[in-house]
């Protein structure tokens, strides 16, 4: 039988978060942590996914921006959102506009 438990302290941080703000049980973390950020609640809506995105600590945040860095209380995941700050000049193609050729490779049966 499966069971679930809350891994957060009253102040919001995970109970396994060490003094250095790193996971103290990373190699043995539970499934909930191993599958983050691919939780149904974050995949259900683009807004939920984007709300979970945080910037790396070394990235400055403009005053008044809704961007944020990771914190023990609010969490977040670096690298899950595409940056929208790189504007394309008129007449140039963005990387998203260029079609990329792809090749499908069939898996071979492993014996």
According to the model, what pLDDT value does residue 98 have? 45
According to the model, what pLDDT value does residue 45 have? 92
Annotate 68-79 with b (16+ C-beta within 10 A) or e (fewer). Answer: eeeeeeebeeee
User: Alpha-carbon distance 70 to 36, whole Å?
Assistant: 14
pTM over 0.85: no
According to the model, what pLDDT value does residue 89 have? 54
pLDDT at 103 over 80: no
pLDDT digit string, tens, across residues 4-36: 556 655 566 788 888 888 899 999 998 888 998
pLDDT at 76 over 50: yes
Let me know if 54 is exposed, middle or buried by CB neighbors in 10 A (0-12, 13-18, 19+): buried
pLDDT digit string, tens, across residues 47-65: 999 889 998 888 999 999 8
Q: What percent of the chain has pLDDT over 90?
A: 15
pLDDT at 86 over 60: no
């Amino acid at each position: 039988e499966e069971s679930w438990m809350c891994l957060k302290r009253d102040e919001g941080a995970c109970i396994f978060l060490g003094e250095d703000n790193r996971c103290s049980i990373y190699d043995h973390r539970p499934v909930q942590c191993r599958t983050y950020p691919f939780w149904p609640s974050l995949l259900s809506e683009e807004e939920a996914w984007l709300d979970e995105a945080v910037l790396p600590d070394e990235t400055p945040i403009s005053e008044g921006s809704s961007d944020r860095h990771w914190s023990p209380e609010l969490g977040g995941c670096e690298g899950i959102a595409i940056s929208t700050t790189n504007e394309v000049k008129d007449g140039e193609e963005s990387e998203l506009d260029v079609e990329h050729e792809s090749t499908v490779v069939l898996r071979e049966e492993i014996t």
